[in-house]
Every structure is written in structure tokens, then in C-alpha cells.
Amino acid sequence: MCSGRVDLAYVLRAFSNGIDGVFIGGCRLNECNYITHGNYHALNMVLLCRKIMEYTGLNPERLRIEFMSGSEGNLFAEVVNDFVKKVKELGPLGKGEGIDKEDLNSKLAEITKLVPYIKVVKQEKLASRIENPAEYDELFTIDEIERLFSEVVSYYIDPGKCQACMICARRCPAEAIISAKNQIHVIDQEKCIKCGTCFDACPTRFGAVTKLSGEPVPPPVTESERTIVRKSKEQSNP
Amino acid sequence: MEGEAGNFRVRLNKKPKYIDESKCTGCTVCVEYCPVKYPDQYNQEISLNKAVHIYFPQAIPLVAYIDESCLYLKEKKCRICEGVCKNNAINLNQTPEKLEVKVGAIILSPGLEPYDPGLREEYRYGEFENVVTSMDYERLLCSTGPYQGEILRASDRKHPHKVAWIQCVGSRQVIPGGNSYCSAVCCTYAQKQVILTKDHDALAQCTIFHNDIRSYGKDFERFYERTEKLPGVRFIRSYTSIVKENPETKNVTVRYSTTGDGVKEEEFDMVVLSVGLNPPAGVQGMAEKFGIELGPHHFCKVNTVNPMETSRPGIFVSGAFQGPTDIPESVFSASGAGSQCGELLSFRRGNLARERIYPPERDVSGEEPRIGVFVCHCGANIGRIVNVPSTVEYALTLPNVVYAQEQLFSCATNSAKEITDMTKEKGLNRVVVAACSPRTLEPLFRDTLREAGINQYYFEMANIREHNSWVHAKEKEEATQKAKDIIRMSVARACHLEPLQEFDLPVNKTALVVGGGIAGMNCALSIANQRHEVHLVEKDTDLGGMARKLHYTLEGLDVQDYLRDLKRKVYQHPLVHVHTGATIMEATGYIGNFTTRVKSERGLTEIKHGAAVIAIGADVYTPAEYLYGEDDRVMTHLELEEQIARGDEGLVNSGSLVMIQCVGCRNEDRNYCSRICCSESIKNALKLKEINPRMDIYILFRDMRTYGFKEDYYREAAGKEVRFIRYEPDDKPQVEAGESDEGQPVLKVTVTDPVLGNKLEIDADRIALAAAVIPSAATREVAELFKVTLSPDGFFKEAHVKLRPVEFGTDGVYLCGMAHYPKLMAETINQAYGAAGRVLTLLSRDTVVASGSVCRVDERKCMGCGACVSVCTYGAIEFSETRQGKKAVVNPVLCKGDGLCNAKCPTGAISLKHFTDKELLSEIDAVVPEEEILRQIDAAV
């Protein structure tokens, strides 16, 4: 596995577990022994995560990535010693920043839940290759992260338009759509990963899935109201 | 040695190690107790070692030996080591062993001997304490060196801050005790040492006193530039001598003279002599024993059109014994010499091989995890720091761990057997070994699981050496705690491991060689001579490539003669199928199973092959400078060679000829050295001098890069009054059409005299430009077809510069010749055989094993976003249409298991087996032990 395998969710999990600092070591940039250069991907993920930490109120210095080769033991020791020193200075996670522990945990849980969404919307940037270290800080900006979270989208099925055709439910990769034949479909917002597959899958002639940005999702129709009453059925059963 | 090719008998005399190799585990307890201290040969005698010791930390086999300084061997005293060795491995009564081996072929690779500067007093080596050789310095830089990687002066054990390198020590000198040839590697190794010195001490001041800078290898020009740009680094072209030592500070004064500033003196904390390469010690005796001839410099005498061949059939040569050589080229010839042995012996290939049979694999997937933990002492490496018994005790408290024990050396044969035995006896279904880095020994331990009938992917390694004991030597308690943490994480992961199957892919025994030049033809022949069919594809209507334009070499070879002979061999070989006038339409498949469609004069052919070799050569830059293309009297060096070979009257009778070097390279557009042009120009100059000794020949150059033995020809040219004038890149020569004083039409060449600084005007009848070698125009296209990558300079990029220099990162695809980088004919032939050798390691097998650790897609979770497809550099993921829309599908054969796709997949649909989210998150969760979390919760409540 390559350093590019390190998932944003892993870093968040470590912090959620109360770890005070996360260090990621990768091969030297441009010296990939393969053709992947995945260390650039790891770098992008770290740049993103550091901005998210800043947004959350955590000190981004708690996450560090360094690139070195297997023969650079002394450099590794130096960098890790420095990092440990830094993290000790920062103090325990959250406490050092003056964030309430519960508050922090719920924030981290919320962001962790949005990891799939973040991957969808930041896909291109996460796979980019920035050669110039001067541009590292500009890959993701704090404004961008604020917008990312304030304008986070939600998907909602309009009960008036849903034809209970099951197409979206079958496509949903998170199995988040509560569905049955002749039952108006409902998105389980807890399970939904906001990937938009249902939005794309719903036949345009129905247009039942709506994309909401930064606004609350209307409450789902209650289970008793979900049965679809089709006109054709009304006619055949007067 | 006696016998002949195919049937040699070699008698070997094996010196006693005084250690039973089969019993020694390399624990080094004997070394600790040995009372004899004597200068450590491996560390250039800078520090001390013991009479019993391991030669160096990475030695294979990693066992100790006792040398002549032993008290018992000298005076029948001591024997302490016998008493402390727990394995009874010491045997002081060992005697030399006589062995006789029967072999079909012999490869001589005795390497080289560094030049001994003690031969010439003026280097003051051994006289001034702070004058060291580059070999000494190499050891000083190394973490396993005399001072554990600290660069210290011998005189006061202080860090030198001002260090000088003196180049060409023992090289390029026609004086007693010196070598006339260039040692070929010193410019670049000195640069490496400068970079490492700056890494050790960013404020260090490094000065290189040099003659020409010969950074002619692939990427070396960039490396040179990188070194030159470092702050505090000076390159000074000069004549240098070491004049005195400060009696108090022991600093060394260097006197040097430059053309611009005259003679100066400067004091340095340390002076490094960049010593050259000598033939191996005892070479004469070796030559006699094997009945081979030596060349004029006492390296091996080789055949110019097959530099791996010695004067005796069946005996081959590789590495620096061919002549001063860098690592990548040594690897070319090593692999190439192997291929030649294969040609000789292919009729009995595999006769000595035996298949390994493993017991059937037990299906344990339904069982609860039953984990066994084995903690290794690694002799003293881990055991001295980490309290191993307490980690074993701790491991037994972890969930699912049913067995734990310590081992002195887990990797020793008996310990590995113990793991196998205990796995069977205790019914273990997962094994964790807490020892060293999995990089080296994971395959061995996986094997022990297979021996126990357990799937090898149920093995997990906890690195408590490199990541722990080695870095926390002074924190024993914390290191023990950390070892426990690491073991806990590994155990957590082990619970989630899954059995994976490696699969065997069949190998098609045919090879495809793309490019019918010298490289492609030699490679194709070597493969075919080992009984494999080869399709040789050439875009032109005739074979020969660039060599068609070459007529002679520096060494005097008639290239056209050689080429005719080579082509004849290719056309006559029943297993080589030549496709000329060919275009590759499509190339698909993977290692062992490629399909390439070729349109050629033969029509459309579909070739199925197991391996592909890219040998498409290179092109010559068309100069846009120095009136090239505007004035017929200006030509490239290749065109000059054509004219010489043709005996062009106008040329031969010219009064003067100017050659300009480095045209179109070593500049911003092409930041590399074309390597061959200096030798090419010297070659043409010598030829012209032979034909018309009265012709005035000028070579305008930046650095003359006649590396290795080619230096002798440079000297010969200078002796024949070829005039060499150095120019600077920012003050290039100027060329314009004009008239001589006699009113004859000439080309006026103006260049700055590097000594006097004034402008020199030369009237030239002809100008030859050393035009750069540039990547072949087809490079990009071929790269896309075979999914291989290019270096920044646009040549093909090998998988690893030193470790895998003739193959690509893409499995089953190999490269050789100028497609890789400009090189001379002999070097091309080395590499062509080298590529053939690598191809044979693949084609000689019936199957290749593909790793089980590859990606899979959970179709249900795939949203068809394509994030995985776009990040996979191997093209291993494709979309397939399903009723639920597009879904990603992984071709496990192409997947390399990097897992980039995993980190991009929004839904977790794609997962890398053996490195799944579940496995990795379980490790992350185990970083903080459960009791610690409980304690924190308690504290919070």
C-alpha cells in the first residue's frame, strides 16, 4: 500500500479517538519507485484535512506529512522528534485549543459522516499534483471549507412526485432509501452519504428527487401515508 | 579451473570462518565479549572492530567470522567466544575447505579496487590526519559507519564545516602511480557526498576542485545542477595540490590555480580525495587461473561488440571488471552476462530445479481468531532495549491471543520451524511476529504459515526493531511500552485478516522486441538463442537503426561490417520473425499475456507474447544554431562521419575544421548531456588527422566527457594537435560566413579564449556540430501503447535507476538501448543482453504469481463516479455496464495494490484486500488501549 491509501476518514478516526497528533510519512516527492506518485495524493488529503481542522478549531499543526526515503533514518528521527515536541506544546487535543470535549467529538462525528460527500465534491483537487510548495496553502482555502460545510447538500424525495419505481433505491450505494413497491420512497438522512446517485437515477419525467443546499430537509412522510394511490387503480376500483 | 565452455571444473579453497554457519544466528554476543580490538576493514580502518565480528550489518549470510587477529589463532589463548555462544557455533578447529564445483559457464565479477593515494606522496594521505579518501568519507557519512553517521575529523573528533574534494585522484594522469584513464564515476559520487554533507550540516561549506565535470549519466546533469545550486557549494576548475597542515588545528591548506585568478591558497577542515577506480587486486593471478586476457589497463580484455565476453569461450565478465563503470551499467552487464550463460546452457535449463510442495491449506475462515504471537529478541538488537518477556506476558492478555512466546531470532531456521510447529500444535489460525521491518522477512514468515497449512495472508508483522528498539536505545521502559502498543495494534489487525489466494498466470513463451537497431537485434538474438520465439518489429524498411549512419568506433570497429553480420544472424535465425515497415496498431494485455497488432510489409499480424522489449532508439537534434541548414559547410557530427567514410574530397582537403560541442543539450530545453558526442567528435578528429594530418582541427567544448578508457583517445587527439578550446554556456561561439585574409570564403568562428579572455577568431572551412541525441519521435506513442512512463527528459523511464534498470514499472515490459538514454554501442549491447536476461527470467517460467493483495469492488456500493478509474495509473480499473448503471471492475492482474482508489472512493465500494478499511481502522482504534479509554472515561465522570 502507498501513502496515498491513507484515507481522510483514518485521520479523523484517530482524532476522534483522542489522539493528539497524526504523522504521515511518505516517499520523497517525484521519487516514486512505481509510476503512481501517490504521495501527492496523500499530501492533498493532508492539506484538506488541515483546513478542516482549522475550520473545526483544531490546530492544524497536529497533522503533519513528511516525505523521505528509507535510508534517511536521521531525518526521520529529527522530524518525528520535532513533531512530538510540537504536539506536546499544543497539549491534549481540544484542551490545548480550548474546545469543549463533547463539542469537539460531535463536530468530528459530523465531519466524519460527511467524508463521502467531501470526496465527491473535492475529487479532482484530491487527485491533483502540486509541484510548487508555495501553492500548498492555496489548494484548499478556509473560505472554501466554510462554504463546503455551510452549503452542504441534502437529497429529498418529493412524496408528491415519487412513483415508487424503486430505481433510486436499487442504485443507492448506501442503501439509504426506504422503499417498497407502491410505497413512496424516503431517504434515511442518517444513512445518506449525499452522493447524488438518486438524483441522477430518478427518471426526469418524474423528477422526484430534489437537491437541497444549505437548507433543512423537510420531515419524511409518515409510514401510514406512504402507500401510493394510483389514478389507474382508482378507476378500476371505483 | 579446467575444462571448456559447457563443462568447467572449478576447485575452490574456502577459508575457515571458525564459525559453524548453520548454527550461528548472528546474535553478536561473541562480538561483545571478544577482547581483541583491531581496525575495522569495512569502516576503512577508521574505527575498531573485534576479532570475531559480522562484516557489515547487511551482510548475507548474517553470520559472524573470526579473523587472523584472534588471540587463540595467534597464541592459543582466550576462547571466550566459545563459552558465550549459546548455539555452540564457534569452531576454532575449522580448517580450510576444498570444494569442487562443476559448472557450464563462469561469470567474473571481481569488481574494482579504489585507487590508493598513498602511492603518491603529494596527496599527503596517511600523513595529514584530515586528508581522507572518498571511500573513507563514504563510511563517515553512513549511519553504520565508524561514528554512526557523524562526520568527524580524525584529529579532534569534531565536525568539519569546511570540506574540500579533490577530483581525479589517480585518474587522468600519465605519471608513475597514476592511471591514464578517467574513472567515470567520481564526479557524480563527489556530488552525492556534497549533497549528503549538506544534509548532515546545512551550513557546511563544500568546495569541489575539479577538471571537467563529467555528469554524462542519465539524470546526472540535473544532479550536478542541484549540487551546484546548494548554498555554500563551490565548484572550482583548477589545478590543485595539498601543501600543508596547520600543526595546531590540523586544518589542511590546498593550493589551487585557476585560469582567471591565478594561484591561491585556502585552508579546509577536511580534504576528501576523490579516488579513482583500479582493477581488482590480484587481477593478474585471476587472469592466469581462468586463462583470460587482460586489457592495457589490466581490466578484463573484452570484445567490443560483446563486452561481456572474455577471450575465453564460456567465461563472461560483468560490472567494473569491464572497465570503470557506474552501478546501473554494472547491473546491465550482470544481467547480460547471465543471459549469455543462458544461451550457452539453455538446453539444460531447469534440470536442477525442484518444486516445493506445501501441505494443503486448512480452511479456518469459520473459526474464531486464534492468534499466536512470537516476539523476537533479534539477538541483542531488540532484547537489549525491550523487555521481551514482559511483552510476551502482555500479548497473552490481548483478545484472541491463545499463545505467545519469545524467540532469540525468529528468522533462524529452527525458529521458523518452531512457528510452524506451534501453529499446528496450538491450532493457531493467525500469527503475529514482533520483530523487524516486514520489508525483508515477511516473505519468510508467510512461508512458515504455508508450511503449517495456514493461508499466508493470515500473517502480520509488528515492527519493534526499526520503529522501536533502534530509535529508543536510551529509553528502555518507554520502548517496552511502545513494543506492547505495536503488538496490540498488530493483534487487532490480525483479527480481521482474510485468507487471500495468489493466482498463477500462464506465460506465453514468445517475446516482442520493438525496434530493430543494434539494441533490438542483439536483444532479440539473445532471447532466440535461448529457444524462445521473438517478433522483431521495425518501423523502417530495413534493420539497423542509428547504426546505419555509423562507420567506425573509437576502438576501430568497422560498424557497417558488424551490422551486416548482425542483420544476417537475425534474418537467418529460425526463431526470429522480422516485421519491417511496421506500425503497432494496438497493444493490450498484461505480463505473460500480451496481444499486439502490427501492420507491416507482411500485412496485419496479431502477435501474442509474454514479454515486450522497447528498443526504439533515439533521434538526432536538428540544430537551429550556427548556420546549420543555411550553409552547407555546417553539418552535424553524424553527417561529418558519413562524409569521412565517403572520403568526401572537399572535406578531406579542408584546411580547418571546427567542432562545436553541446549543441541542443545541456540547456534549458534539454537539461541533459547526450553522453556520446565528446567521444564521437574525438573519433572523427582522430580519423581526419589520420587522413590529413595537416588539417587544423578545433574542438570547442564545455566539458570534455571522454569518460573511462575513452580518455586515452582524448589525450591522443591532443597529442596530434587537435586544439581544444573551452567555452562557457553564456558565451557561446559565434559563427558567420566571411572571408579569410587570402580572400577565400570561410566560416568565421569567434570564441573567447578561456586563458587570456580575449576573442579568438578561427577561419573554418567546415563546421561540425555535436548535435544532441533526443528521444525518438515515436516515444510518446509507444509509451501510451505499452502503458509505460517517461523521464523528465522524454526518454523512457526504467522501473528503478539502479535496482531495475532494464525494465519498466509495468510488469513484463523491458527496455534497452538509446530509448533509455543516449549511449555508445558497447553500452547499448550490454543493456540489450541485460534486457534479454530479464526477459528470460520471465519467459523461462510457465506461470507468474500475482499478489493476492489487490483491489475488489463491491458492486452494490459502487456509484459509478469513476474516481477510482481516474487515479489508477495502471489502467487496472474499467467500467462495466450493469442494469444498475456503470460499475467499476478491477482487473486483478494489473492492480499493483497501491490503494489510491480506496482513498478516493466516496462509498467504500472499492477495497484493497489485506489493507481494508476494517483492518486499518482496527489498528488505529488499538493505538489507545481499551483500559486507557476506560480510565479516561472514569476520570471524566
The average confidence (pLDDT) of chain A is: 90
Minimal CA separation from B44 to chain A, in Å: 21
pLDDT digits 0-9 by tens, A125-176: 999 999 899 999 999 999 999 999 999 999 999 999 999 999 999 999 999 9
Residues B606 and B633 in one domain: no
Q: Which of B22, B67, B15, B62 is nearest to B41 (CA)?
A: B67
B849 has pLDDT over 50: yes
Contacts of A127 in chain B (CB under 8 A): 867, 870-871, 904
Contacts of A101 in chain B (CB under 8 A): 940
- Maximum pairwise Cα distance, chain B: 106
CA distance B571 to B524: 11
> What average pLDDT does this structure show over B913-932?
90
Residues B608 and B627 in one domain: no
What was the pLDDT predicted at B379?
A: 73
**Cα–Cα distances in angstroms (integers) from residue B311 to residues B286, B301, B314, B553, in the given order:** 14, 7, 9, 20
Residues B177 and B249 in one domain: yes
pLDDT digits 0-9 by tens, B328-353: 999 999 999 999 999 999 999 989 88
Name residue, grid cell 561483545. B32
Q: Residue B50's domain is classified under what CATH number?
A: 3.30.70
Contacts of B917 in chain A (CB under 8 A): 7, 9
CA distance B716 to B37: 50
Q: Judge if pTM exceeds 0.95.
A: no
Minimal CA separation from B466 to chain A, in Å: 9
The reply to whether residue B900 touches residue A38, judged by beta carbons under 8 angstroms, is yes
- Maximum pairwise Cα distance, chain A: 85
Identify which of A2, A10, A101 has the shortest CB distance to residue B924: A10
Q: Which domain holds residue B293?
A: 289-348
Identify which of A7, A73, A171 has the shortest CB distance to residue B902: A7
In a domain, B100, yes or no: no
Minimal CA separation from A126 to chain B, in Å: 8
What was the pLDDT predicted at A235?
A: 47
pLDDT digits 0-9 by tens, B187-244: 999 999 999 999 889 999 999 999 999 999 999 999 999 999 999 999 999 999 999 9
Q: Is B277 helix (H, G, I), strand (E, B) or coil?
A: strand
What was the pLDDT predicted at B287?
A: 97
For residue B61, whether the previous peptide bond is cis, meaning omega lies within 30 degrees of 0, is yes
Contacts of A123 in chain B (CB under 8 A): 865, 867, 904, 906
Residues B769 and B789 in one domain: no
Contacts of A5 in chain B (CB under 8 A): 898-900, 902-903, 912, 915
CA distance B874 to A35: 8
B142 has pLDDT over 50: yes
B940 has pLDDT over 70: no
Name residue, grid cell 602511480. B177
The reply to whether residue A35 touches residue B149, judged by beta carbons under 8 angstroms, is no
Residues B304 and B259 in one domain: no
What was the pLDDT predicted at A233?
A: 45
Q: Does A154 touch chain B (CB under 8 A)?
A: no
A230 has pLDDT over 80: no
The average confidence (pLDDT) of chain B is: 94
What was the pLDDT predicted at B809?
A: 81
Q: Residue B382's domain is classified under what CATH number?
A: 3.40.50
Among chain B residues, the shortest Cα distance to A198 is held by B863
Topology of A153-236 in CATH? Alpha-Beta Plaits (3.30.70)
Q: Does A179 touch chain B (CB under 8 A)?
A: no
Identify which of A1, A70, A75 has the shortest CB distance to residue B912: A1
CA distance B796 to B815: 8
Residues B132 and B270 in one domain: yes
CA neighbours closer than 13 Å in the CB half-sphere of residue B254: 26
In a domain, B939, yes or no: no
Q: Which of B579, B378, B359 is nearest to B463 (CA)?
A: B378
Q: Does A188 touch chain B (CB under 8 A)?
A: no
> What average pLDDT does this structure show over B583-595?
94
Q: Residue B900's domain is classified under what CATH number?
A: 3.30.70.20
In a domain, B107, yes or no: no
In a domain, B920, yes or no: no
Residues B456 and B557 in one domain: no
B593 has pLDDT over 90: yes
Residue A238's pLDDT band, with cuts at 50, 70 and 90, is very low
Instruction: Print burial letters for B239-270: b (CB count within 10 Å at least 16), e (below 16).
Output: ebbbeebeeeebbbbbebeeeeeeeeeeebbb
Identify which of B871, B897, B907 has the shortest CB distance to residue A195: B907
The reply to whether residue A34 touches residue B927, judged by beta carbons under 8 angstroms, is no
Name residue, grid cell 586544439. B723
Q: Does A18 touch chain B (CB under 8 A)?
A: yes
Evaluate whether B516 touches B543 at the Cβ level (below 8 Å).
yes
B261 has pLDDT over 80: yes
pLDDT digits 0-9 by tens, B421-455: 999 999 999 999 999 988 778 999 999 999 999 99
pLDDT digits 0-9 by tens, B87-111: 899 999 999 999 999 999 999 999 9
Residues B629 and B765 in one domain: yes
Contacts of B900 in chain A (CB under 8 A): 2, 4-5, 36, 38, 41
CA distance B615 to B832: 8
The reply to whether residue B904 touches residue A127, judged by beta carbons under 8 angstroms, is yes
Domain ranges of chain A: 3-150, 153-236
In a domain, B304, yes or no: yes
**Pairwise pLDDT comparison (A181 vs B534), residue with the higher score:** B534
State percent of chain B over pLDDT 70.
99
Q: Indicate the burial class of A23 (C-beta count within 10 angstroms; 0-12, 13-18, 19 or more).
A: middle
pLDDT digits 0-9 by tens, B707-742: 999 999 999 999 999 999 999 999 999 999 999 999
What was the pLDDT predicted at B58?
A: 67
Minimal CA separation from A127 to chain B, in Å: 7
Q: Which of B402, B462, B411, B408 is nearest to B430 (CA)?
A: B402
Residues B575 and B436 in one domain: no
Residues B625 and B613 in one domain: no
Domain count, chain B: 7
Residues B689 and B761 in one domain: yes
> Apex CA B285: angle with CA B280 and CA B291, to 5°?
110
Among chain B residues, the shortest Cα distance to A120 is held by B906
Residues B152 and B225 in one domain: yes
Q: Residue B259's domain is classified under what CATH number?
A: 3.50.50.60
pLDDT digits 0-9 by tens, B33-78: 999 999 999 999 999 999 999 988 767 788 899 999 999 999 999 9
The reply to whether residue B799 touches residue A10, judged by beta carbons under 8 angstroms, is no
The reply to whether residue B900 touches residue A36, judged by beta carbons under 8 angstroms, is yes
User: Where is average pLDDT lowest: B279-283, B436-440, B456-460, B857-861?
Assistant: B436-440
The amino acid occupying position B144 is: T
B756 has pLDDT over 90: no
What was the pLDDT predicted at B937?
A: 66
Q: Which of B43, B39, B60, B63 is nearest to B51 (CA)?
A: B39
